[in-house]
Amino acid sequence: MTKDMTPLLGYRLKLAQHALHRRMEEALKPLGLNPAQYAVLAELNARPDQTNADLAERAFITPQSMQGVLAKLEGLRLVERRQDVRHGRRQLARLTPDGYAKAEAANAEMMRVEEVLEAAVHPDTVQGAVDLMDRLHGAMCK
Amino acid sequence: MTKDMTPLLGYRLKLAQHALHRRMEEALKPLGLNPAQYAVLAELNARPDQTNADLAERAFITPQSMQGVLAKLEGLRLVERRQDVRHGRRQLARLTPDGYAKAEAANAEMMRVEEVLEAAVHPDTVQGAVDLMDRLHGAMCK
DNA sequence: GTGATAATATCAGGGGCCTGATATAATATA
DNA sequence: TATATTATATCAGGCCCCTGATATTATCAC
């Protein structure tokens, strides 16, 4: 008979991320956003005028999926897309004033979640935890 | 302007789990399984005769979602469900012989992934990494 | 310059998980 | 016993992300 999976590291990693995702969803719900939408707003806040393809790559989803996210955010008037003047195909996305306000509000909520997460690393250090995550990520990507 | 999110622990946690999930998907693909289906087979291998509700709770998905997973596994003749003789509503799921063989094969693949993951914790210990994940999980569930 | 290749956006369809609603059987309670 | 509550299964519809396919524009190779 196969051994019980619950003590395994991969299982715990999944559990922790799942709980984080739920927590983020709950925190963003009052703002009318989901984690993917928040990620786009935060990214455009940090680096305006990115293409759909750029945003998809940074968010680790396909351009087709990001297309849907951007279309939704455009419909909510949080993001606007304008033709790149020097490129007939590219459309550069940026935050509207409403989008900027929403991004700031959402970021405050996400920072609160991050603080709770970082507090839980004790007695490890945040840097130690970050390094560990990076090693796990690297091992799974090789 | 909002700070860049990439150095944050939550972001790294998401990345690591995402990579693990992809790795599991790839390893299971030749067997015709996805991670959710594997989780059910492994669970039924460890503890046969569970209800849809039991399995859903252990897998952290809704009974409605598990219903779809079980229906699929039944269609593949990897799982069978029988009426609980002492309970008119419950249906107890168990592995078929094919399901058992598939569970064993999948488990071997998953163990290989787990080994790669655990090797990456160095210079930390596996137990230290597991404990960290548990603390992060606990902090996100409170 | 012309044709091949790559980049970009976007449509169509599918899979997995979700919420809401419903039906049925077991269990608790009056 | 009769009724209310709980547990279980399951249908319907929606959201998010996926793959595949297509159109259009840039860019590269010759």
**Segment A22-79, tens digit of pLDDT:** 999 999 999 999 999 999 999 999 999 999 999 999 999 999 999 999 999 999 999 9
- Using DSSP's 3-state secondary structure scheme, residue B50 falls into strand
Task: Give the number of A-B residue pairs with CB atoms closer than 8 Å.
Answer: 166
Per-residue model confidence (pLDDT) at position A128 = 95
Per-residue model confidence (pLDDT) at position A141 = 87
Cβ atoms of residues B45 and B107 within 8 Å: yes
pLDDT at B4 over 80: no
Asked if A42 reaches chain B (Cβ–Cβ under 8 Å), the answer is: yes
pLDDT at B21 over 70: yes
Per-residue model confidence (pLDDT) at position A137 = 94
Architecture in CATH of A9-110: Orthogonal Bundle (1.10)
Please state whether beta strands B79-83 and A91-95 pair in parallel, antiparallel, or not at all (unpaired): unpaired
Per-residue model confidence (pLDDT) at position A89 = 85
Query: Which of A8, A14, A117 faces B140 most closely, judged by CB atoms?
Result: A117
Q: Which residue is nearest to nucleotide C17 (CA to C1')?
A: B65
For all residues of chain A together, what is the average pLDDT? 92
CA B43 to C1' D5 (Å) is 31
* DSSP states along B75-99: HTTSEEEEE-TT-SS-EEEEE-HHH
Q: How far is A24 from A21, CA to CA, in rounded Å?
A: 5
The residue of chain A nearest to residue B128, with distances taken between CA atoms, is A124
Asked if B14 reaches chain A (Cβ–Cβ under 8 Å), the answer is: yes
- Residue B46 to residue A104, Cβ atoms within 8 A: no
Q: Which residue is nearest to nucleotide C20 (CA to C1')?
A: B64
- Per-residue pLDDT of B114-131, as tens digits, reads 999 999 999 999 999 999
Q: Which residue is nearest to nucleotide C23 (CA to C1')?
A: B89
* CATH class held by domain B9-113: mainly alpha
Nearest nt to the CA of B59 via C1' is C17
Query: Which of B2, B110, B130 faces A107 most closely, judged by CB atoms?
Result: B2
Per-residue model confidence (pLDDT) at position A87 = 83
The residue of chain A nearest to residue B42, with distances taken between CA atoms, is A2
